[in-house]
Amino acid sequence: MAAPNLAFSHIGLYVTDIKRMEDFYARFLGFTVTDRGSLGPVDLVFLSRDPKEHHQIVLATGRPPNPVFNTVNQISFRVPHLAALREFHRGLAKEAVTEVAPVTHGNALSLYFRDPEGNRIELFLDTPWYVDQPCREPLDLTQSEAEIWTRAEKQARALPGFKPRAEWESAMALRMGRT
């Protein structure tokens, strides 16, 4: 029996400073607070960038001040175009974030950084190519858009498994039984 279709909806994060985290996700990443309230001792803030989704992120108080390990590897957000990725990159200079790393994965151009409480964020846009993963090469977002795309394509073409993204998507649709 095939599993029913699923669509990702939202993620919840325990936080230590809910006001600081709300400010960062709303002001810098452009989320809108859709609701807030308390369930017993836990304060909650719901945020979304999609009017069809009540929340895509929920912030919840209760994170220990010095957790030994964060089990969330990263939270990834797709941006619509390279100009948006570059705009976020410029804006990060004014934010209390660490580990800012623009990279290409061949199949995506990405910008990684840690939010104010250390959660890794990835902002990315898909490229028109596929390459075998994992792949991580430095990306210079200070170059012109033409230079970035030219270099990203040159790097991708030199990597194992290079093919047009549409070809990879067709193969995956077949493999997933969605033809």
CB neighbours of residue 116 within 10 Å: 18
Is 69 a residue whose pLDDT tops 90? Answer: no
Task: Supply the range of the domain harboring residue 25.
Answer: 10-63
Q: So what's the pLDDT on residue 162?
A: 97
| Mean local confidence (pLDDT), 23-39 | 95
Is 178 a residue whose pLDDT tops 90? Answer: no
| Mean local confidence (pLDDT), 40-50 | 93
Q: How many domains does the chain have?
A: 2
Is 176 a residue whose pLDDT tops 80? Answer: no
Residue at a domain's end among 39, 63, 87: 63
- Whether 45 and 133 share a structural domain: no
Q: What is the pLDDT of residues 128-145, one digit of tens each?
A: 999 999 999 999 999 999
Nearest to 104 by CA among 85, 91, 119: 85
- Whether 100 and 171 share a structural domain: yes
Is 75 a residue whose pLDDT tops 80? Answer: yes
- Whether 101 and 30 share a structural domain: no
Q: So what's the pLDDT on residue 72?
A: 83
- Whether 92 and 129 share a structural domain: yes
- Whether 86 and 140 share a structural domain: yes
Q: What is the CA radius of gyration of the chain?
A: 18
- Whether 87 and 159 share a structural domain: yes
CATH code: domain of residue 45: 3.10.180.10
Q: What is the pLDDT of residues 86-132, one digit of tens each?
A: 999 999 999 989 999 999 999 999 999 999 999 999 999 999 999 99
- Whether 137 and 91 share a structural domain: yes
Q: Which residues, listed in sequence order, are joined to residue 129 by a DSSP beta bridge?
A: 164
Say if 30 falls within a structural domain: yes
- Whether 87 and 172 share a structural domain: yes
CA dihedral 83, 13, 60, 97 (to 10 degrees): -50
Q: How many CA atoms lie within 13 A of 36 on its CB side?
A: 9
Q: So what's the pLDDT on residue 166?
A: 95
- Whether 175 and 92 share a structural domain: yes
